[in-house]
Structure 1
Amino acid sequence: MKSLPLRFLWLPLRGVIRLLLALLILFEEWGWEPLARQLARLAQWPPLRRLEAAIGRLPAYGALAVLLLPALALLPVKIGALWLISSGRAGLGLILIVLAKLLGTAVLARLFSLTRPALMQLAWFARGYQRWSLWKAGLLGWLHASWAWRQARAMRRLLRLQWRRFRQA
């Protein structure tokens, strides 16, 4: 019976954690494809095209190392942003974190598209990626089926309709 109060605390907390994870994944999904496309356009520049070709030829563990580079490269930037926040420049620190997140997502998305074939040769990576994909799909399915999501989509449709009517008037 001691675990009963903990269970009542865990259930709402689990829902909040699930919602936060779903929103984080949604943010990543929102930026992943468009940002990767923007970087692909930059890759038309011959030196970047050669670099991408070299990345695409890497063996599996080389590809894995390259995939970790954005996280390692942006770590000092994020630490600097936290320092800015702690020193009273919260706005500047938050802007730096958001920009680092956008840049990191863009680079990671592009690198993943280049290294995915090599990474899928690693059995443990392929299994983990499949599990991640299933888990992510389930979490996003839960979010899309929620009352709040359906209400937000209905509100968005209504606002778009009203905006069109306003523009036509």
Structure 2
Amino acid sequence: MLQQLLRWPVRVLTGLGSGLLALLILFEEWGWEPLQRLLARIGRWPGLRWIEGWVHSLPPWAAVAVFALPTALLLPIKLLALWTMGRGHVVLGMLVIVLAKVVGTAVVARLFTLTQPALMQLRWFAWTHAHWIRIKHAVLERARASWAWRVARVIKRQWKQRWRRR
């Protein structure tokens, strides 16, 4: 009886968690390549070119440290944004969180591109990456099969057609 009673909340929480994970993955999918390319262009600037070369030549464990650095640096900023929201400045806090997410995604995407050969030398990282890719593809496949995804694609197509006509 208790198991049957708990099934509904578990399904709701699982669905909510899957939906949030799908949104996160979709954001990463949308932003990863374009933001990485933007930072690659910026990285060609004379003063920054040597930094990219240095990051690319790092040994595996140093690459892990550099790859984890943006997360560690952005955490206090996100916590400050939450504090700001708690003080009644919700829009400002949300803008800071969104900006931190975009900047963090751009930096992590570029760092991953630069450090991927070194990171993949670590067995645990290669294993984790392979599992993450598998999970990501399964979530994206499920999201793309959903009603919401199909409706969003139709709306996107309509917006593109309207934009082209103008």
| TM-score, L = length of structure 2 | 0.93
Query: In the aligned structure 2, how far is the partner of 1:158 from the partner of 1:42?
Result: 34
Tell me the residue number matched to 1:86: 86
Deviation at residue 7 of structure 1 after TM alignment: 1.1
Q: Which residue number corresponds to residue 25 of structure 1?
A: 25
Residues 21 and 164 of structure 1: CA distance in aligned 2, closer, same or farther (over 3 Å): same
> Which deviates more from structure 2 when the two are superposed, residues 144-153 or residues 102-111?
144-153
Shift of 1:8: 2.0
Q: Distance in 2 between matches of 1:61 and 1:155?
A: 45
The residue matched to 2:63 in structure 1 has which SS?
helix
Equivalence for 1:151: 151
Task: Please tell me the root mean square deviation across aligned C-alpha atoms, in Å.
Answer: 1.4
CA distance 1:8–1:48, change in 2 (3 Å)? same
The 5 Å alignment of 1:158-169 reads 158-165=158-165, 167=166
- Give the deviation of 1:19 after TM superposition: 1.2
Deviation at 1:89, TM superposition (A): 1.4
- Runs of 4+ with >6 A deviation: none
1:82 shift after superposition: 1.4
Give 1:126's aligned residue.
126
Distance 1:15 1:43, change over 3 A: same
* Partner SS state of residue 96, structure 2: helix
Query: Corresponding residue for 2:39?
Result: 39
Q: Which amino acid aligns with 1:30?
A: W
The residue identity in structure 1 corresponding to 2:157 is R
- Unpaired segments ≥5 residues, structure 2: none
Which residue does 1:72 correspond to in 2?
Answer: 72
Letter of the aligned partner of 1:103 in structure 2?
A: V
Q: Distance in 2 between matches of 1:76 and 1:3?
A: 41
**Greater radius of gyration (CA):** 1
Are 2:58 and 1:95 equivalent residues in the alignment?
no
* Per-residue deviation, 1:65: 0.3
Going from structure 1 to structure 2, the CA distance change for 1:89 and 1:162 (only over 3 Å counts) comes to closer
Q: CA deviation at 1:95?
A: 1.0
Alignment correspondent of 2:139: 139
Residue type at the aligned position of 1:110: R
- 2:106 is aligned to 106
